[in-house]
Amino acid sequence: MLTAVYTGRWPGRASSELRAHVEGCAICRDLAAVAGTFEDESDVTRFTARVPDSSLVWWRAQMRAREDAAREAVRPITVAQAIGFAAVIGVAGAVFGATAAWFQRALSWMWESTTTFAGRISMPEFSVSLTEVSGSIASILASHGMLIGGVVLCLLLAPLAVYLTARD
């Protein structure tokens, strides 16, 4: 059936046996209709297709490949710059925290408020331990607050900077 379609013998020059078979066979009838339509369609579409010249496609591919290569080459440096920027921001934050007296006072006030609040929680069996834990955290922060603040800032900013850089 397919051979008859592709050689142009269907339907005009098909044998009587083939015609009789197609008359009684639903599958071959589908095949004849679909294959015949596609054969016709394929010829017309290919004839009317306006494809660019091969030299143009080659040239565009070359340009695109160079752009991609340049982008790939630059990416590690951009990521390193982003991490460096995040680190500088983090260190600057830590230095600011270490030198600004009002910031330290504000930080101490915040932790005192937190420990006071934790001590007032109305569950007696937990209140002692919560107070102890809060007290320990407050003492650590009081001695190394600036360093911890800087590290936290770095950890927050670095992934964000890397994401923004690598996004494109």
Which of 93, 78, 77 has its CA nearest to residue 155? 93
Residue ranges binding another protein (CB under 8 A): 6, 23-27, 29-31, 33-35, 37-42, 44-46, 48-49, 51-52, 54-55, 57-58, 60-62, 64-66, 69-70, 73-74, 77-78, 81
Nearer to another protein, 44 or 123 (CB): 44
- Considering the complex, what minimum distance in angstroms separates the CB of residue 100 from another protein? 34
Nearer to another protein, 16 or 54 (CB): 54
Nearer to another protein, 72 or 125 (CB): 72
Backbone φ and ψ for 10, nearest 5 degrees, come out as -100, 135
- Considering the complex, what minimum distance in angstroms separates the CB of residue 4 from another protein? 13
Burial profile 90-127: b = 16 or more Cβ within 10 angstroms, e = fewer: beebbeebeeeeeeeeebeeebeeebeebeeeeeeeee
